[in-house]
Amino acid sequence: MPRWWDTPAGTYSRTWELHDGPGDAEAWMDTAYEDQTVVTQVAGVHADHAEAGTVVKGRPTSSSTLPSLVVQMFRHAEIHDGADVLDVATGSGYSAALLARRLGDGRVTSVDVDPYLVEAAAVRLDAVGLRPKVLAADATGPLPGEYDCIVSMVSVRPVPASWLAALRSGGRLAAVIANTSLIVTAGKCDDGGAEGRVEWDRAMFMPTRSGRDYPPGIRGLFDTVWDAEGEEVTRGRYPVLDVTYNWDLPAMLEVVCPGIEHHYEEGDDGRRTARMVHADGSWARATALSDDPPTVHQGGPRRLWDVLDEVRHHWLQHGELPLRGAHARITPDGTIHLRRGRWTATIG
């Protein structure tokens, strides 16, 4: 990984600066040996192809996952001697390298939707004497073989049906549900589906994509309702919070009402404002000073802040949300059915 992208020091934004390893050997070594995710591609622009001094804006589209998380996912997949493993999302090739060193080249297949990532990873793996099968393929479509374990370094929703078809009887998969921190592990069943659970653990990965970049999102909808009066104006039950600065709340929201985008800001005077938008035209804005009960404006076909308050109420009432540890049943088409106690949900 000779070049990578990073956000400017002290900022949190979608602006990325290019770093060149050979041009700064000390920073290169520090980055290589830190347990962190290192972004290699942003908005379809790979660091290998960028001019010196380039700054780009957009969402990361590939990275080298932090080493501890790679190993964590391998543990969840219960990879064992003699297993044929599919590594989904080649990225820099790091996860394929670990698998090939541990199991042998012939046991490892790694796929990525981006032909350049596959090409670069194969060359660099070969340079260190590792030659797993590395292929350009859309992991949500047909897969090139059958496997005892499938482990994914991208997130999916639902589980691709092709994974279940390619998983051998008794095989095991480990994946994260897109836009959540939920790790689902499951073993192949005789009916072609799989059964397992949501692990008592958490991870986040970029979602799968089909092109060089992700399609435009719905964040532009914030502009159209930024200060709108709202079809309904009420007083909220709970303080305004930054939903995304959390693991379980956004995961639960994505299960019960997928596709919500969030925006949060806090002024110097302590005034907090949280906004929510959805592609169906639903929106919400909650404003309050510090932890006072907020004034909530909502519009569209659904009341998004009410959905959030229902989730928060369940959390307060039961002391936790029911996601982690939930039983997971995956049907052959990839639909995930979750159950914990009386609570059920479907991720299709």
- CATH 3.30.160 domain extents, the chain: 221-318
- CATH 3.40.50.150 domain extents, the chain: 67-198
Q: CA-CA distance, 14 to 217, in Å (whole number)?
A: 14
Per-residue confidence band for 227, with pLDDT thresholds at 50, 70 and 90: very high
pLDDT digits (tens, 9 = 90+) for 134-181: 999 999 999 999 999 999 999 999 999 999 999 999 999 999 999 999
Q: CA-CA distance, 48 to 233, in Å (whole number)?
A: 51
pLDDT for 219: 86
How does the average pLDDT of the chain come out, rounded? Answer: 95
Q: CB atoms < 10 A from the CB of 200, how many?
A: 8
Predicted confidence (pLDDT) at residue 10 exceeds the cutoff of 60: no
Query: How far is C-alpha 57 from the chain's CA centre?
Result: 19
Tell me what the mean pLDDT of segment 177-188 comes to: 98
pLDDT for 8: 78
- pLDDT > 90: what percent of the chain? 94
Per-residue confidence band for 14, with pLDDT thresholds at 50, 70 and 90: confident
pLDDT for 187: 98
pLDDT for 216: 86
CATH number belonging to domain 221-318? 3.30.160
pLDDT for 110: 98
CATH number belonging to domain 67-198? 3.40.50.150
Predicted confidence (pLDDT) at residue 56 exceeds the cutoff of 90: yes
Q: CA-CA distance, 205 to 160, in Å (whole number)?
A: 16
Tell me what the mean pLDDT of segment 209-220 comes to: 89
Pairing of the two strands 183-188 and 167-177? antiparallel
Q: CA-CA distance, 74 to 86, in Å (whole number)?
A: 11
